[in-house]
Amino acid sequence: MLYLKKYSWSIEKDVSVSGFAWLGEDYFCGQDFAEQTQKHASDFGQFKEFVSRLNGQFSIVINNDVETWATCCHTWSFPLFYKIDKDNFYISDQPEQLLQTNADKEIDAFASSYFLQFGVTPFQQTLNATIAQIQPGEIVCFKNKSGNVTSDFVFQLQHKPNAEQTPQDVATHFRKVFEKYFKQIKNKQILLPLTRGYDSRLLACLLAEFGHKNVLCATWGRKNNSEKQTAQKVAEKLGFQYQFIEYNEELIDNFKSDPTFTDYANYSGHWSSMPYLQDYFAVKYLREKKLINEKTVALPGHPGDFLRGAHLNNLILDLTASELGATLIKTLGTSLPANPDFRAALQKYLEENLLIQKSLSPDEAYEIWDLRERQCKFISNSNHVYVYFGVNVLMPLFDKQNLQFFAGIDARNKNREQLYNKTLEDYFFKKHGVDFDLKQISDQKDSKFQNLKTRLIKAAPHHLKTLYYPMNDGIFYHEITGQLRRDIKMKHPLKPHSFNAYIVQWYLHFLTSQSK
């Protein structure tokens, strides 16, 4: 049984599709996409082969008399969830629709503990033991009579070395990929979340290079934060409109009690991912002030950091299997303290599940976890704030071609990051006169002094840690999460500026309170 109401779905016979895709050079969306999928749905093997050739942001469900097939693309833009109950298969884009009574809404202990560490639930699990999620790039087949479920991945990052690439090669690649996205946005208003970073600046340069004029560049956060000055200079140099949304006490006043906020938290959390708050107030403001509308397309820079290999250094590349779990927790976790027994069990769980594919090295497993669990289910899940307020989202940097292109470039000694940055600086920023406020690459290594300092800070009382870490963050998260903490007893993260640690605790409390 299907419950597909959250996103915009097009239907052709037993096929339901949401989003868009390219099949080779051909672009499909809406009814055309559904009809094209129907042509490749005579059996599961044909459908699986068809989906493996698609590139875009989409989800597909096919429900025939014998089987139900479903898939989410590699970006996880339209998450799907399913439940098996007495050999009946239920699938929905709203997991709460699969929970009929308060008794059904019990929070799973292991999944919730994992969620507190990473802001997402593990792999196919959700915060409810009876509901599963389709993972990024996964395809699922349910046999209606036997109740048997099988799954596989139709997209997985391939770490095959490319021929040596020059900055000019990389620039040519970026322009070629962006061109196909530009064809879909050339007559629309673009909302570009612009910071001082490189990825949003690259998108700004590409928009200017392709002659797009109707661009609103926007930055948000604390007054006079470090992003504003550079972002405004970039926008003005390229001739784009610029808007800064100041986060202050007035803007966020009593937001926790606002029905719009709680509705958004349900919409974007879907029992599996932390609802992002960084962009919520800004997008809400832009819509209320009519600076953007339902025809606007947002172009966030996800996952530029991943493409450049910012998450990789020689220590990661030299990981052993026994170090994988602990390294994921240390480098990509929320820094919430965990019971030592649970932490040990979590490390083992991560290693067993990620290294089940024998061909993967520990560093490749680390990168695949980062892509699926962090980039898709955590960071890019923040795009739901745009969709919630009626704004479409395109992610040119998340294109399959980009992921595979950069996965094939050696990351050792920061080679990939140096090539990425040099390309942007020399072939885009310099060309458009925005080659200012550039950054240096550092390959940080844990020295004995650094390890000692980390241990001392970790052991210090919370009030002393706040003296070491800057609490006036650029986003205004200190004040935002302060409101979430009112009337709720929360643990402090080991790093006090890890404000997501408070959001994940609030979300679990929010779900628990709904089931009472």
Q: Where are the alpha helices (DSSP H) in 88-227?
A: 109-118, 167-185, 198-209
From 349, 345, 354, 343, select the one nearest 319 (Cα to Cα): 354
pLDDT digits (tens, 9 = 90+) for 295-350: 999 999 999 999 999 999 999 999 999 999 999 999 999 999 999 999 999 999 99
Rounded mean pLDDT of 110-138?
98
Q: Check residue 442 and give its pLDDT.
A: 64
Strands laid side by side in the 132-133 sheet: 2-3, 88-92, 81-85, 132-133
pLDDT digits (tens, 9 = 90+) for 365-413: 999 999 999 999 999 999 999 999 999 999 999 999 999 999 999 999 8
Average pLDDT over the chain, rounded to whole? 94
- With contact defined as beta carbons under 8 Å apart, do 28 and 116 qualify? no
Model-wide pTM > 0.85: yes
Strands laid side by side in the 215-221 sheet: 241-246, 215-221, 190-193, 297-298, 392-393
Is 512's pLDDT higher than 60? Answer: yes
CATH tag, 159-308+379-516: 3.40.50.620
Phi-psi region for residue 430, left (φ > 0), alpha (ψ -120 to 50) or beta? alpha
Q: How confident is the model at residue 184 (pLDDT cuts 50, 70, 90)?
A: very high
DSSP string for 441-457? -------HHHHHHHHHH
More confident residue, 415 or 470: 415
pLDDT digits (tens, 9 = 90+) for 68-102: 999 999 999 999 999 998 878 999 999 999 997 77
pLDDT digits (tens, 9 = 90+) for 264-297: 999 999 999 999 999 999 999 999 999 999 999 9
Rounded mean pLDDT of 244-254?
98
> Does the bond joining 303 to the residue before it have cis omega, within 30 degrees of 0?
yes
Rounded to whole angstroms, the Cα distance separating 174 from 181 reads 11
Distance in Å from the first CA to the final CA of the chain:
27
Q: How confident is the model at residue 452 (pLDDT cuts 50, 70, 90)?
A: low
Rounded to whole angstroms, the Cα distance separating 251 from 362 reads 45
pLDDT digits (tens, 9 = 90+) for 404-447: 999 999 999 899 999 999 999 999 999 999 999 998 876 555 54
Rounded to whole angstroms, the Cα distance separating 70 from 63 reads 9
From 334, 305, 309, 291, select the one nearest 120 (Cα to Cα): 334
Rounded to whole angstroms, the Cα distance separating 137 from 74 reads 4
Is 126's pLDDT higher than 50? Answer: yes
Q: Check residue 465 and give its pLDDT.
A: 47
Rounded mean pLDDT of 163-180?
96
CATH tag, 2-153: 3.60.20.10
More confident residue, 200 or 472: 200
